Structure 1
């Protein structure tokens, strides 16, 4: 008796199905590689931007410590000038006047050099107190001035770029009216519309 023919194996893959699975596998690998390439490109762009920002900051703020030290020297020159009695300044002694002018010129030259490198002086007198740029040392009772207005500068403050190098030490007013944030007034309509309302 002949052996029965083996039933055709339904599980056997056709060449078309094998090609299709290989294609799908390669398409999936392609998508994964594309995704990795995009992520690497994004990481490189972020690194480039971060490096550019770090280089910019290094250039802009590299002299911060040096500038802070020079501000101390400028303060000393300013104190020396302030310590000279008014009578001595008015005495008319040519040598003394020349010395005073020399010290003033030295201080100005130092501050000008710092300004060329991005160091700017804060001028808070009469401004609203800002804790980001000012350090309040005392309060001055004054009902005529809005509260929290800088009324006296004890020590000049400086910024380098957009960073505070040294806050201004200030006295602020107390007891006056509160400062109100400026509000935009309601803008009137065009003159024709206004006259129509009135009519």
Structure 2
């Protein structure tokens, strides 16, 4: 069998080499070809790995410092929250006690007048005062004969007296109240001053 091309006009002609042929088109074709870079040496790879290791250590140290700072901020927040909660409870208790001061003054006045010596109202008043005292560390203060203390007493009047050697509470006009260590209201008193 003969091998005939399908189109006889398209015969393949051999390329003849000419001496002055332009090879510019070959340079353009080679420009698109990527030439693989030379493999890095062991020393270069080692140096690159050491730099990467140093960078990772630095990043880790920064991350640890950030975590420590965040942990400290959280601990401070928790500490402040607990203190704020305690302060808010104390402020709430003080506010309730301040609202009850007129009732407590009335109970004290009724007791001083002899109206709460016995009976159901006397029992209720006693129970109410004990509840405040036991549960909220509430205390009434200011009695005749106490040494005058400006932190706990408010002098509304002073009289000279030869019977005292230091400023002394001669008469309590209105009792003072404390809630724990906090003075809710100082006692209003008449003070006897030494002559």
TM tier relative to shorter chain: 0.5 to 0.7
| Counterpart position of 2:118 | 101
Figure out how many residues of one structure are paired with residues of the other and give that number: 150
**Structure 1 alignment gaps of length 5 or more:** 1-12, 85-96, 177-199
Q: For residues 18 and 157 of structure 1, do their structure 2 counterparts lie closer, same or farther at Cα, with a shift above 3 Å needed?
A: same
**Structure 2 alignment gaps of length 5 or more:** 1-42
1:46 aligned onto 2:76: yes
1:72 Cα shift? 0.9
| Counterpart position of 2:58 | 28
Asked whether the 8 Å contact 1:74–1:110 carries over to 2, the reply is no
| Counterpart position of 1:68 | 98
Over aligned residue pairs, what C-alpha RMSD do you find?
Answer: 3.0
Q: Which has the larger radius of gyration?
A: 2
1:60 Cα shift? 4.2
Q: For residues 26 and 148 of structure 1, do their structure 2 counterparts lie closer, same or farther at Cα, with a shift above 3 Å needed?
A: farther
Q: For residues 146 and 19 of structure 1, do their structure 2 counterparts lie closer, same or farther at Cα, with a shift above 3 Å needed?
A: farther
| Counterpart position of 2:155 | 136
Q: For residues 151 and 57 of structure 1, do their structure 2 counterparts lie closer, same or farther at Cα, with a shift above 3 Å needed?
A: same
1:127 aligned onto 2:144: no
Q: Provide the C-alpha distance between the structure 2 equivalents of 1:53 and 1:33, rounded to a whole number of angstroms.
A: 30
